[in-house]
Structure 1
Amino acid sequence: MKTVLKLTLILFFTEVGNAWAQTLYGTSVGEVSFYSDTPLETIEALNKKSGAIINSDSREIAVQMRITDFVFPNKLMQEHFNENYLESEKYPTAVFKGKIKEEVDLTVPGTYPVTADGSLTIHGVTKPISVKGKITSTGKDLRLEFKFQVMPEDYQIEVPSLVITKIAENIDVTGNMLLVKR
């Protein structure tokens, strides 16, 4: 019994030590925007409160944001977006969790084109996704930039037929974040 307890404690402290040794970068004020353009209407919004974390050792990445933090130039659009389309009371967050495919040492200054494979959850629906971007490292912090497209129908976001021609089939999502070493 004592041997099992000792082994458990050794494994526990080894894991805790490994977790402390990892290099983490993060932010809670990253920017994510989306853009939809059709001949009838342009729709765009910006979220300046997006959180992100990158573990440079494991290359794991996560980005999370509250849907209600998207700000639109037109307040009526913002209301419709939250109440009718994204149902932000029921589905308050969007989350990407993934892993950077390339073997990059983000502690070394430089600019690295990267691809993160993972899952994106919007409107309560999770789908696999591959996101291309670039990470610029100063050695002390990281600048993360990315762009990808989302199809509302893939995430069961219903667009009424009256406005279907005002919303693009593919919505451009862009991110720009400065992550500092934790």
Structure 2
Amino acid sequence: MRELVMEGLVSVLQAQQTTAMMYRSSPFGLVERFHRTWKDLLSTFVAEVQNDLDWCVNCAVFAYYGAQHSGTGYNPNELMMCASCVPPSEFLRESEVSHVGRIPPLEQMVLASAVAKAALTRDQIHKSRYDNRRVRHTTTYAVRDLFWVLRQPRGRGITKPAYKWLGLVIIEEDAGFDN
């Protein structure tokens, strides 16, 4: 009876499965590793003509680690890593979800750019705290300020502090990067 149910399930899902059970426990209570089970599970999610394999593999991995084992009563993630899988629906909040499914490429680039700018800002704050621990900051610069610029020494003899003045420079605009 069980084999007929599994055959019906396999035909409905259009999977190519040869075993009667998706995974089984060994006599010691361990979980079968990724080999035949992984191929069967992947064939459930991915057809041969699909080109979005990278998106479907994540679903298959989550399904493998999240499904409860009939022999032990635990899922493979709990047995191997002593932690259960958290479904993605628990991470999502209505205030933060803007798309259902995949994000369009242009919006994904805009989102990545905003995240990169935020990371750069955090990194600048961290660097300024780390690099300037023992330095007093008494000078602040603003747009339209004048200041003298030194040319950095190059080549031989750079150990001697002999800087040449380049001249006055006007700050025209804030570049947004605090070096």
Decide: shared fold, TM above 0.5. no
- TM-score in terms of structure 1 length: 0.23
Q: Which has the larger share of strand?
A: 1
TM-score by length of 2: 0.24
Which structure's relative contact order is higher, taking Cα pairs within 8 Å and 6+ residues apart? Answer: 1
